[in-house]
Every structure is written in C-alpha cells, then in structure tokens.
C-alpha cells in the first residue's frame, strides 16, 4: 500500500473511531489495529493523537467543490446578492459541513477541558467560525433586508448559535431536514 493510501486509511479510521468511541477512549494503538497497520506507521505521519485528530477534522471540513457551469458563474457576477441567497448558501454549507464533521467536532469539544492541545484545536475552530459568521453578517446587513433592531455583531451571534455543532448534534436531524430548518429559522429571525 502506498504511503498516501496508508495515511488516508489511518485518518479515516481515526475519524470513525473518534466518533464511535470518543477521542479520550481511542488510542493510537486502537487506530493502528483497526486500520491494519503498525503503531509506528501511524506515528510516521501523525506524531501525536491530537495531530491525527486535526488531520481527520481537516479532511472532514474540506470544501467539497460543486461543479459550476460557465453560465452559473457568469450569472453570479451579474446578480447582486440577496439576503435570501446568502442565507440559503449559509444553510447549505453549514448543513453539509456539520453532516460530515459535526460528530467529530463534538468529540473534540468533549475533551477540550482536559487536553490542552484539543482545547487549542477547539478554540481555533470557534474563532474561525466566528470570523466566517461576522463576514456573513456584514454581507446580510449590506443587503438592507435585515431587521433594523440587530447589529452586525448580534446577527453574527445568531448565525454562530444556529450553525453550532452543539445544536446540530442536539437536533440529530438528517442533512436535508437540518438545512431546511436552518434556512427557514435564519429568514424568520433575521429578515424584515
């Protein structure tokens, strides 16, 4: 097996075990055994369990680009963004991302209180989500369609809360159901 295939197998096995058993309860040895490789092979690519978690998380978070036709790309350039378009895109992206990575994110958050490296990963993730939602909040406000009683920071707070892995986990809904609910709730909460 090539080094790249082994790396992918180990990463995907770790993802599955972290979600099924929890980060704290899954050892590097468990991952190696389940992947059918030696612990040394795991440590060649991943010096720590947290590095293995980060790799599994990054793979799950990776954008799955949709195929865009030239017509669609041209249309996007000439069509001003509407608040409903921003919300639909945000809901679709959040639903897709949380379907792929939500359970893994939650497993990382669960052990962030006792593991400094996992706390750092969780804090970085929260900061990245907050920055993204602030950008989206500014874009929504710029459309002129957001209720006037909300500031940009409050809109960002609402987006962070609605798109959180915690809420997604609590609901436990399939991606299409969560996406529909999320878009509907954002529109009802934020728009005039």
pLDDT confidence of 64, banded at 50, 70, 90? low
pLDDT tier for residue 169 given thresholds of 50, 70 and 90: very high
Return the DSSP state at 24: T
The pLDDT value recorded for residue 138 is 95
Surface-to-core class of residue 79, CB atoms within 10 Å of its CB (0-12 exposed, 13-18 middle, 19+ buried): exposed
What pLDDT sits at residue 79? 58
- For residue 157, pLDDT beyond 70: yes
Q: Among 22-26, 57-61, 69-73, 133-137, whose mean pLDDT is lowest?
A: 69-73
pTM of the model: 0.87
DSSP letter at 141? H
Element (H, E) at 29: helix 28-35
What are the tens digits of pLDDT across the range 98-143?
Answer: 999 999 999 999 999 999 999 999 999 999 999 999 999 999 999 9
CB contact set of 88 (below 8 Å; sequence gap of 6+): 183
**pLDDT tens-digit series, residues 69-95:** 455 544 454 557 899 999 999 999 999
CB atoms closer than 10 angstroms to residue 116: 10
Strands (E), the chain: none
For 128, residues 6+ apart whose C-beta sits below 8 A from its C-beta are none
Tens digits of per-residue pLDDT, 37-51? 999 999 999 999 999
**pLDDT at residue number 74:** 45
Q: Indicate the average pLDDT of the chain.
A: 92
Q: How far apart are CA 6 and CA 13, in angstroms?
A: 10
What pLDDT is stored for residue 125 in this prediction? Answer: 95
Give the distance, in angstroms, between the CA of residue 79 and the centroid of all CA atoms in the same chain.
28
């Amino acid at each position: 097996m090539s080094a790249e295939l082994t790396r992918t197998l180990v990463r995907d096995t770790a993802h599955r075990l972290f979600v099924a058993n929890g980060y704290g309860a899954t050892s590097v040895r468990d991952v190696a055994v389940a992947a059918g490789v030696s612990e040394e092979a795991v440590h060649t690519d991943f010096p720590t369990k947290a590095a293995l978690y980060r790799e599994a998380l990054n793979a799950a978070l990776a954008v799955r680009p949709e195929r865009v036709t030239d017509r669609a790309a041209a249309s996007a350039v000439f069509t001003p963004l509407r608040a409903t378009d921003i919300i639909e895109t945000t809901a679709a992206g959040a639903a897709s991302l949380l379907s792929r990575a939500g359970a893994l994110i939650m497993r990382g958050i669960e052990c962030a209180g006792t593991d400094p490296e996992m706390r750092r990963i969780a804090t970085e993730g929260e900061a990245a989500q907050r920055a993204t939602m602030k950008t989206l909040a500014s874009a929504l406000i710029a459309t002129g369609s957001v209720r006037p009683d909300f500031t940009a920071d409050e809109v960002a707070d609402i987006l962070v809360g609605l798109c959180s892995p915690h809420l997604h986990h609590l609901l436990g809904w399939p991606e299409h159901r969560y996406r529909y609910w999320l878009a509907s709730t954002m529109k009802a909460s934020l728009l005039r």
